[in-house]
Amino acid sequence: MDRLLPKAWEGLLNSSNFLPVIVGTLERIQDATWSMEPNRHDNYEMVYMKKGCAVFEISGHKVELGPNDIVIIKPMQYHKFIVKSESGCEFIVLYFTFENRINGEYAQIPLEDFLNFVSNKESSPYIKLKVSPKNEIVVLLNRIMKERESLEPGSEFLNYLLIMELFVLLSRALKMEWENSIKLKSSKLKELIGISINYIHNNFERDISLGDIAKYVFLSPSYFTRAFKEETGMSPISYLLRVRIERAKELLVDTSLKISDIALNVGFSNQQRFNEMFKKHAGLTPLQYRKRNAR
């Protein structure tokens, strides 16, 4: 089956032990006389409002939904749905969980980026997104509903690929939502930059990249780079190099380690690259620096 997968999906499959699985779908039209008792599920619940207005009460939070709103409710959250439109509501409900590829067990653990957002300590029992009627997520939801009812050959496999694509798009939308939410919270942004700086200091000796650092605070590399530079006056990679060079200076003076070993110890993959970066920052080669500062 893997041979048939596009490279993007193949990469996603190979990068995560947990993959999304839809365990149920509903497409309903309810009028204002309909009522629903509070309930909760072991799975995530995603509701897309096609038409009408309603209010979700989710673990004490009132969430208003209008056309083209999406709400994702986390597992084990008590909730109920109240129709507000006199003409009723039309909506799609999708229940999903995540399957461990290794042992086949289900878990309340999603794809990595999705997990970073929904498990954030400041996030609520739900996530709300606003989309357009022609948004890719909406198009995929409708296709998934159609394919789940289809008896055509290959529908099961196609539905599986559509689900994978849906969660890639959700992950991107949630990352954008996360970035937009912190743009208005300068203190939160400062906190995230501080967290990323700690990450650099704790991991500089590893082969980490800009993508790794940005991912740690669940920001896109471009937005993270701009925010980091505004806060510190330098790019994340420049900061990472400075930390590595400063640590290398200490090792050159305080130890008798070979320069090639020092290069590896501070995160450089080879000595030539280390020598170039060290001279650029310190104005001397590592050997010249060691001789000049010998004790």
Asked whether the beta carbons of 225 and 235 are under 8 A apart, the reply is: yes
Structural domain boundaries in the chain: 2-183, 186-295
For the chain, the average pLDDT equals 80
The CATH fold assigned to 186-295 is Arc Repressor Mutant, subunit A (1.10.10)
Whole-prediction pTM: 0.56
By C-alpha distance, which of 138, 148, 109 is closest to 26?
148
Strand partners of residue 66: none
Q: Which residues of 153-174 are buried (b: 16+ CB within 10 A; e: fewer)?
A: eeeeeebbebbbbbbbebbebb
Please work out, in degrees rounded to the nearest 5, the angle formed at the alpha carbon of residue 188 by the alpha carbons of 123 and 241. Answer: 115
Q: Within 13 Å, how many C-alpha atoms sit on residue 68's CB side?
A: 10
Determine which helix (DSSP H) or strand (DSSP E) holds 124, and give its type and residue range: none
pLDDT-wise least confident of 9-13, 191-195, 222-226, 254-258: 9-13
pLDDT band at 262 (very low <50, low <70, confident <90, very high): very high
**Distance, first Cα to last Cα, the chain:** 63
Task: Enter the CATH code of domain 2-183.
Answer: 2.60.120.280
SS (H, E, C) 70-103: EEEECCCCCEEEEECCCCCEEEEEEEEEEEECCC
Which strands make up the sheet holding 79-83, listed edge to edge?
61-65, 54-58, 79-83
pLDDT-wise least confident of 50-54, 125-129, 274-278: 125-129
Strand partners of residue 94: 25, 46
**How confident is the model over 235-248, as a mean pLDDT?**
95
Please write the tens of the pLDDT for every residue from 120-153.
Answer: 544 567 888 888 877 888 888 888 888 877 777 7
Q: What is the pLDDT of residue 98?
A: 72
How far apart are alpha carbons 95 and 177 in whole angstroms? Answer: 21
Asked whether the beta carbons of 213 and 196 are under 8 A apart, the reply is: yes
The encoded tokens of residue 89 equal 């509501």
